[in-house]
Every structure is written in structure tokens, then in C-alpha cells.
Chain A
């Protein structure tokens, strides 16, 4: 059953990102693991494209434990916004650590710097995991402004964005405002993928 869900997600994401510059994925919290697995499998299977994965949800070490190829795959770079703030300070070659998830301008700079190192001919993708977690650490208006800037910057540099937002009680208003900045929204439901 899990494989069916993951395959379904992979296909939906692949199709949507081909046709749109930015897609927002709105999902219930209990589908998060499947979605992450689908995304990393998609990245791993496609070594031609360049991916930058911003994590505000799980520390880099945790992600590597779950998906070991992240540490060695050349086509993916991770930006970890939470390890340093949590006091985890192990260095990693495939990962850029941001001191705090509140340093949004620094995050924006690092995203652009990583894509500067990529061949201009290569397809470029940015994954934001997740907008809802950025709101935990920042004022929602600030995150909206940041995300709006990111969408414009990446659009100018032909970078596709996939942004995740977890549906959480009490945060619907902020999440909706953010997610609707994307060109296309995918809603993941428990009962229907």
C-alpha cells in the first residue's frame, strides 16, 4: 500500500513540476513520511538534474540515516536550518548549515549560492521542507515576504520550487496564503492520492 502511495505521489509531483515553475504541496501531517520518501526517490533516480533541499523539519543527520545516498549523491545539496539551533554541530560536505531558521536572508543567499555552482544547462529544483515549519520559527508575514522573494528570484534564474506545507490546526490562514503564491497546488489526502 505504501509503495502505491509513493508511486502515485512521485508521478503527480513529476508531472506538476514539469509544467509549472513552482508547486505547493499541502498535506496532512500523517502523510509526511511518504511524501519525503517519494521526493528523495525521485531525486535519487534522476542524477541529471540539480536539487537543493532545504530542511526546517528534520536535521541533516536524521535525513542521511533514512536516505544514506543523500550524503554521496552529487546532484543534491542540503541546507539544514535546524541542526545548529538545536546544538548539533557535526560538519558535512554535502550540507550547508544555517545558524537559525530565523536567518531567512542568509537562507536565501545560500540557496542562490548553491545554484550558482550548477551548470546553467542543467534543470534546477529547490525543495522547501517546509513552509509550515518556517512559520513556527518566524513571524508569518516575514515568511510570506521571504517566500514571495524566493519565488521571484528562482523564477528569474529558472529554478523550479517545490514547497511543502503541513496542514496544522490554527495555521490554515497563514499556510493557505503562502501556498497560494505557487503556480500549482497539490493537495494530498489521507484517503485519496
Chain B
């Protein structure tokens, strides 16, 4: 009991000393966030296929691990071997962080299988069991950063809009109870200004990062915009986003004449 109290106070001290901000480690993004994501926030990372959601989230986890914060990446969209193969092409990715357990990669479909759930269709009970497992893993690993890739694919396995709504609100409560900073990826169609497939995901989120693109002379320029971030005095400018093997995700002001 006494030890728990000391631990809690220590955590609070660290939070206060560091301004309670979770640095993404992506220089321009942290500047736009006013230092980082407020610790404990749940942030919806919205974008169409190929917009850079997974890379951004992985860089957030890896950079956190390099700063001593353990993280977990729950995937339901692609097998782990594919995910790691893609990430190995980036200089920021360090295999040792996976081996040491500072970054944990977990395939939710495998978890579902082990729980004896139908991996393609979830009932209310299945979804609830999955949420419990998710929370237990995060607690056991004592993670400070969590990613779910993607909430859209997770909800897709639920049968009715009511189930989806119920699941999202339960997920929101579970995430709020955890002390970690969470990125949820949300898939939307290209060039559509919407934050989620089901229209509810944004309501459980403290922040929204919107990834899109603009066309210029036939070329697609990736864009990034911080739409919302509770507890942060953040920028709302639209940036051009670059993804390179050397530097991962980088942001630069988008030239306005292009819009």
C-alpha cells in the first residue's frame, strides 16, 4: 500500500517535472503540440490507406522506448512479420527495442484465436473479453504508450452499430483508466474530410491527428493537421508530411499557394 503511494507520487513528480507531456520524438510535431501529447490522452490518428498512420504510430512508440518509456502496438490489420519487415526499412526502427521488450508487438487476431473467439466476427462478450485482455497486457507490461492499429478494423468485426457504439465507449473508459498515452488509428476513404468510419471514434478521443494528401501537378503531397488536442496549446496549421527511410516522419509547413 505504502509502496504504491510512493510509486504514484513518483509518477506524479515526473509528470509535473516534464510538464505532463509525452514527447513524440518527431521534432516538428512536438513543436506543433506545444511540447508533446498531454500524458494519458487518447489520440485518433486518421488517414486513408498509405497516409502514414502506422509509420507515425510506430515512430511514436520507438522514440518513446528510446526515452525509456515502454510501449505496446496492437495490430489487427497486418500480420506481425509484415509489420516488422516494413519497419526494418526505417533507420529509427531498432530491433533491439523489440527484443528487450521496450516495444511490444501484439497481433490481436492471435489473441482472439487463443481466447477461442471468432476472429472475423465479435459478439458483445467477445469484444468485452478482448478489451479486458488488452488492459491486462498494458498493465502487466507497465506501458506508457499504446497503439491500436486500427480501431476501424476492430469495429468492423462487430455486428451492429449499437455494438460498435457500446464497444467504443467501453474502450474509451478503459483507455482513460490506464495511465498511458494512446494512439488509435482510424481508416477513412481518401480525400474525405471525416475522422472515422463510424462517426463515434472521435468522441472518445482527446486529440485528432488528420493525415491526408493534396494533389500538385499530378503528384500526391502527404499532409498532416492537428485538429484537436485537449490540454495542449497546439497549432492547427496544415503541414506537408514526408516519410523517408532515414528520418521517418517529418513535417514542414505546407505551401499555401498549393491549396
Where the two chains meet, the residues of A that have a C-beta atom closer than 8 Å to any C-beta of B are 99-100, 102-106, 108-109, 113, 137-139, 141-142, 144-146, 149
Least CB separation from A142: chain B residue: B257
B254 interface residue (CB < 8 Å to A) = yes
CA distance A15 to B179 in the complex (A): 60
Q: A109-B242, A141-B257, A142-B255 are in contact. Are A102 and B250 (CB under 8 A)?
A: no
Say whether B217 contacts A108, CB under 8 Å: no
Q: A109-B242, A113-B247 are in contact. Are A103 and B257 (CB under 8 A)?
A: no
Which residues of B lie under 8 Å from residue A108 when comparing CB positions?
Answer: 252
Say whether A102 contacts B219, CB under 8 Å: yes
Q: How large is the interface on B (under 10, 10 to 19, 20 to 34, 35 or more residues)?
A: 10 to 19
Q: A106-B240, A139-B257 are in contact. Are A100 and B219 (CB under 8 A)?
A: yes
Known interface pairs A105-B253, A106-B242, A144-B257; 15 further A-B residue pairs with C-beta atoms within 8 A, sorted by A's residue number: A100-B217, A100-B219, A102-B216, A102-B217, A103-B216, A103-B221, A105-B242, A105-B252, A105-B254, A113-B246, A139-B258, A141-B257, A142-B216, A142-B255, A145-B256
Say whether B217 contacts A137, CB under 8 Å: yes
CA distance A106 to B257 in the complex (A): 16
CA distance A145 to B257 in the complex (A): 7
CA distance A113 to B248 in the complex (A): 13
Q: A139-B257, A142-B258 are in contact. Are A109 and B250 (CB under 8 A)?
A: yes
Which residues of B lie under 8 Å from residue A142 when comparing CB positions?
Answer: 216, 255, 257-258
9 A-B residue contacts at CB 8 Å? A103-B219, A103-B221, A105-B240, A106-B240, A109-B242, A109-B250, A113-B250, A142-B255, A142-B257
Smallest distance from the beta carbon of B162 to chain A beta carbons, Å? 44
Smallest distance from the beta carbon of B59 to chain A beta carbons, Å? 15
